[in-house]
Structure 1
Amino acid sequence: MMRTSRLAAIVAAVVLSGSGCTVIPVSGPYTVKDEGPGDPLSKSFQRMIPIPPQKTWGPDETIRGMQAAMAAYPDDPSILPLYLTPEARSKWSPAGPVTVIQDAYEVVPAPSRDGTETVQKITINGRYVAVIAEDDSYTPMAGAWDKPYDLVKDPQGGYRVNSLPSGLLLTDSDVRRAYRPTNLYYLNRNTQDRLVVDRVRLRLKTTETFAQTVLERLLKPPSTALEGAVATSFPPGTTIESVRSGEERVVINLSGAIDPLDLSTEDGLRAQIRYSLNKNEVAKGRIIEIQVDGEPYYTDRPNSDEHWLDDSGGSGYYVAKGAVHYLAKDGPGGVVAGAAGEARDGYSEFAVSKGGTPTVAAMTSTGISVAGLTAEGKWQEVIQGTALTPPTWNRDGSLWTYDRKNSVLLRYDPSNGRGPERVAAPKLAGLDVTRLRIARDGVRVAVTTGKNTVQTCALTGEGAGTMLGNLQALTTTEAGKGITDIAWADDEHLLVLVESEAGQILNEINVGDGESTGVPLKDRLESVAALGDRVLAEVQTKGVSKLLELNQDRQTWTTKIDPDAGAPLFPLG
């Protein structure tokens, strides 16, 4: 953690936040006692311990010392003001987004005329890494970050900073040391049968366990990416009274207007707590006992059956000569029942719903048609249009597309017997929408605009008030590159296939924080489909198609079907 050789007093201390408790099983209430460091509900981290500005420091050391004091500010706010003049202290506020820059930044002083100036102008030259917003969302940034500062000579020696933008400036190492990527779980607003993940960056605290930090944040609204799109089972005014742990049990004591007789609240509340703790590797494998005002509310066992994130049961499919085939464990399984299993020309961009009896949708020259995967299933055109994006299914059974010619988002619900309905999507107005894919959580939507940009949205509101909002940029390719295909792997990760003159790139992007992982390619892919860890891709060689599957090592591919295997499909996504 050394900032410069003359900042030897700035050291990193290893801190285990909070203290643990052991729960002693007895017949009745549980007795707890302090256990000290090593609490399974905590995460170890390094805490910056800054020192005040020194009389012998020049501008470079003063700026670096000030930045170190910023990194320590949430734990010790007393040091940073010592670096500021009274004027700067009166104006500066820690509130606002946290700016994250690369570790290697430069402090560049303006040329001195004769060395007698009392004000030294300097510039910090760095590179953006990210911005952590006030809602704890983490957004990667790129490009140069340059800020000017005025330093005033102190009559007693050294310098003080006379102008300072509000907010904290941290290095990438500061964030990696003190923050943790964290998944919070809320409920799908419309169906409330599915959890929706909200990925944020939470700062570890010396005053509480990480489990308590997670739960305290879970009581707050989601990040702006999911604003208006998700719900919570926690009634307003709910507070965390305590979080205690032992080898086999975690005891969470809540207070607030929680109705012990409301089973719907109970089911959602325990699911939000369990997944928000377990997916962040705190309380994993332990019984979670939830209390309300010290009284037993619910005991959640780690192996209890859950449906909240279950995407299993989704068979794989592929298209060959216009006919839909289903995949067996080791290869082709045969054609599906009904008209969808018959070879035909003019049908493309297939999509499969999920349910007891799946339905397949496909584009034609006049619109989008659907057919049930039953022996009686016939093709029926349900949305007309000559400039539609490929169809995508929602988990509620509705079919969606964007009419590029009329700039409207369309939703077709087979259950109501009516034609397609328009859904408000004001943020898409004026954009060249080329693809639209709804995630399996029924909330997030990935949209490609033009040839080079992927953005994410969310379905907000309820019923007739449903709209597509919360538009945020996810990734943009460079000039000369184009996006060939996108596919949801799970609720967090989107596969993006990029084409360029130099070859193809397949990236798996976490839509919550933009972190990207490249998937090695050997063959040129035509399309991709994914479901959890399974990734299928179509390859064409001299007009012959084959199907590949990504191996568990995420580095190599194995041929699944060769020849005559076209575009792969998974339900939803």
Structure 2
Amino acid sequence: MTRTRRLCAVAAVAAAVALTGSGCSVIPVSGPYVVDDTGSGDPLSKPFQRMIATAPQPGWGPQDVLKGLQAAMAAYDDDPTVLPQYLTPEALRGWSPDGAVTVLDDAWNWTFDLGDQDGTESVQKISVKAPQIARIEEDDTYVPLAGNWARPFELVKVEGVGYRVRSLPQGIILTKSDVARAYRPTKLYYLSSGTQDRLVVDSVRLRLKPTKTYAQVVLERLLKAPSAALQGAVSTSFPSGTRIESVRSGEDERVVINLSGPIDPLDLSGEHALMAQIRYSLTNNDVAKGRPIEVQVDGEQYSVSQPNVDQGWLDNGVNTDYYIDNGAVHYMTNEGPGGAVAGPAGQPREGYSNFALSKQGDLVAAQTSTGISITPATQEGQWQEVVQGSPQDLTAPSWHRDGSLWTFDRKNGVVLRYEPGSNRPAERVAAPGLKGWDVTRMRIARDGVRVVLTTGENIVHVGALTQAGGLMLSNVRVPTAREPGGLIEDLAWRDDEHVLVLVKSNAGQTLNEIDIGDGDVTEIPLKNRLRRVAALNEHVLAQAEKGKGKGSEILELSQDQSWKTRIESNAEAPLFPLG
């Protein structure tokens, strides 16, 4: 006879209790617990806590076994021998750790369904529910998610052994605390496939290893292909077959990297891209910062890169602030308003809007009622219409660092690229993923690879310009799981990893900063009603309303997140070259 006893017990279980040393108060015996990794204090590593899982015990109840199983998943990369002990032979044959890692919030809800099957086995069915906050892909991409995750687990009591898991979801399941403990946000640097003169950052999450320094983990990952977001858009200077033999601290606090493989000694010159990839990937992850880097090949020294030497690998063009005054482009000074730029772009003119400046500020683009025009910022310059279309049909112009001008033709649903001086009309750039989309904005990042787009009123997408098989806009994805919650009024690239998005909703206006690497959204406090935003790294400007009938002013964001007036009157649409 089948006997069913249902326990609808819903418990919020914090991972900090269930999966750390304090978990000993919940799970008998001595685990699971965490230990400080021996890499703590090593200048080439980062301190972290490592999960030490324990095998299941005969006296554990179903809930304790499931908590122990989750701890074994958290420790699986370091010790894969414990987790199989929680599974029946049937479950072990059917389960695989491969695939994306599921990241759940620390608080879980448990629903139990306890009963006997055929009078011979005590079976425990547990439904686990929790908010899923992310997924870590096999290429180490951290993908933010929103929504609830619910999966069934089935445990069976084995005579003389205790409960074992007979049915469980595929893959590794971690909590937010597990990820914070064992993973680190990491910046990898690759070469832009289009221009080869710029490094492009690839943001991933790397798992720390107790047997390796963080510096070695970073460099070994750098030898692999970039994440899916940059596939086909970037390249590497490391020849195939390169290996990281060791990374250690040497004399004079230098970092000594020993490589092996088919490396040309010329590739290790101080200004070569390979050395730049190594240096930026280490120093911008706060490893080897301010230290010389010595690169060896098979133990023989080939090159030493000195710290704090700017070789332009993250060049963003001219670092000058501009704004519009009565339809004319003006530059700013430290004291406030500056003069107008040379040529027709610096002369007041009606009907010109959405100005954009090239990398060096020597070319100006603007939108008119009939299309997009450009002019050199010289006395001899003249406005020339290079793309035809109404403001309703074309998105605002955006310059690429290679000197080309981009827009999206909404009427025909195509990306257009115009190359000044080519005497050719704007060419179409393939973008198969955008077919049928209502693209409302498109801006090229200063790295020359990434592209931010908006569709409709409130959806932000990030893509990349790929080169494999011809120039193409692809790899388009939504960078965050958080909805904007209103109408997008403006957006701008702040740096290679962050986009500013100005949003208007019923609750008011917000300025959000989206981290396109991990999807985090940070709200920048506002006091005034803003119209436009522009940014270049730590420098953020905005056009703000002064009040009804009082015109607008240019504000600057201070380090304390307050806004101060930069230009008091006759100032609109702040802008920087590119971005």
Q: Report the TM range for the smaller structure's normalisation.
A: over 0.9
Instruction: Give per-residue Cα distances to partners, 1:69-97, cap 9 Å, x unaligned.
Output: 10011111111111111011011111110
Q: Which residue of 2 aligns with 1:499?
A: 504
| C-alpha spacing 1:111/1:296, structure 2 compared with 1 (3 Å) | closer
Alpha-carbon offset, residue 478 of structure 1: 4.7
Say whether residues 1:567 and 2:576 are aligned partners: no
- Aligned partners of 2:396, 2:273: CA distance in 1, in Å? 34
Is 1:2–1:11's contact at 8 Å kept on the other side of the alignment? no
- What letter corresponds to residue 96 of structure 2 in structure 1? S
SS in 2 for 1:474: coil
Moved more, 260-269 or 39-48: 260-269
Instruction: Rate the CA distance shift 1:190–1:110 in 2: closer, same or farther, 3 A.
Output: same
Query: 1:189 matched to which residue of 2?
Result: 193
CA contact (8 A) 1:452 1:477 kept: no
Q: d(CA) in 2 for partners of 1:303 and 1:141?
A: 38
Identify which of 131, 151, 154 aligns with 1:150: 154
Displacement, 1:10?
1.5
Whether 2:176 is the aligned partner of 1:161: answer no
How many residues align? The count is: 551
Match of 1:22 in 2: none
Q: Deviations over 1:490-540 (max 9, x none)?
A: 111111111101111111111111122211111111010000100000012
Local SS of the residue matching 1:214: helix
Aligned residue among 559, 565, 569 for 1:552? 559
Partner of 1:534: 539
For the 8 Å contact 1:260–1:266, the answer to whether it is kept is no
- Match of 1:16, SS state, is coil
For 2:44, the equivalent position in structure 1 comes to 41
Distance in 2 (CA, whole Å) between partners of 1:466 and 1:265 is 31
2:381 corresponds to: 377
Q: In the alignment, what sits opposite 1:328?
A: 333
Structure-2 change in CA distance of 1:371 and 1:213 (3 Å): same
Question: Which stretch of the first structure deviates more once superposed, 326-335 or 55-64?
Answer: 55-64
Give the residue type in structure 1 aligned to 2:355. F
The answer to whether the aligner puts 1:208 opposite 2:222 as a matched pair is no
Q: Which residues of 2 match residues 473-492 of structure 1 at below 5 A?
A: 473-475=478-480, 478=483, 481-492=486-497
Partner Cα separation in structure 1 for residue 140 and residue 76 of structure 2 = 17
Q: For 1:479 and 1:448, locate their aligned partners in 2 and report how far apart those are by CA, in whole Å.
A: 11
- Paired residue for 1:460? 466
Aligned-pair CA distance for 1:571: 0.3
Match of 2:439 among 433, 436, 439: 433
Counterpart of 2:173, as a letter, is L
Give distance in 2, aligned partners of 1:333 and 1:185: 37
**Letter of the structure 1 residue corresponding to residue 127 of structure 2:** T
The one-letter code matched in structure 1 to 2:240 is P
Q: 1:452 to 1:45 in 2, by over 3 A?
A: same
* Matches for 1:384-395 after TM superposition, within 5 Å: 384-386=388-390, 387-395=393-401
Cα distance in 2 between the residues matched to 1:123 and 1:105: 10
Are 2:445 and 1:422 equivalent residues in the alignment?
Answer: no
User: Please, what is the CA RMSD of the aligned residues?
Assistant: 1.8
- Measure how far apart 1:263 and its partner are: 7.0
Distance 1:214 1:264 in 2: 21
The structure-2 alpha-carbon separation of the partners of 1:475 and 1:102, relative to structure 1 and needing over 3 Å to count, comes to closer
Q: Which residue of 2 aligns with 1:6?
A: 26
Distance 1:385 1:431 in 2: 18
Instruction: Label 1:479 to 1:170 Cα distance change in 2 as closer, same or farther (>3 A).
Output: closer
In structure 1, give the amino acid aligned to 2:36.
Answer: V
Identity within the alignment, %: 60
1:542 maps to a residue whose letter is K
Shift of 1:353: 0.7
Aligned-pair distance for 1:113?
8.0
CA gap of 1:476–1:167, structure 2 versus 1, over 3 A, is closer
Aligned ranges 1:2-81 → 2 under 5 Å? 2-3=17-18, 4=23, 5-7=25-27, 9-17=31-39, 38-81=41-84
Deviation at 1:157, TM superposition (A): 4.9
More divergent stretch after superposition (394-403 vs 75-84) = 75-84
Deviates more, 1:338-347 or 1:165-174: 338-347
Q: CA deviation at 1:421?
A: 0.4
* 1:2 alignment partner AA: V
Matched, 1:521 2:541: no
Aligned 8 A contact 2:318 2:577 in 1: no
2:51 counterpart letter in structure 1: M
Deviates more, 1:105-114 or 1:243-252: 105-114
**How much does 1:219 deviate?**
0.1
- Quick check: 1:487–1:496 contact (8 Å CA) kept in 2? yes
| Residue 16 of structure 1, CA deviation | 2.5
Shift of 1:111: 5.9
Distance in 2 between the 1:54 and 1:270 partners?
A: 52
Write the distance in 1 (CA, Å) between the matches of 2:559 and 2:118.
63
Equivalent position to 1:99, from 98, 102, 107 = 102
Q: Which residue in the other structure is 2:222 paired with?
A: 218
- Secondary structure at the residue paired with 1:62? helix
Aligned pair in 2 of structure 1 residues 479, 51: CA closer, same or farther (>3 Å)? closer
For structure 2, the residue ranges without an aligned partner over 5 or more in a row are 1-15
Moved over 3 A (4+): 111-117, 261-266, 475-480
- What TM-score do the two structures reach when normalised by structure 2? 0.92
Question: What's the TM-score, normalizing by structure 1?
Answer: 0.93
Residue type of the partner of 1:110? D
Measure, in 1, the Cα distance between the counterparts of 2:490 and 2:540: 13
> 1:336–1:39: structure 2 CA closer, same or farther, 3 Å change rule?
same
Residue 240 of structure 1 is matched in structure 2 by 244
1:421-451 Cα offsets, whole Å, 9 max, x none, are 0000000101100000110000000010111
In 1, Cα distance between equivalents of 2:308 and 2:367: 43
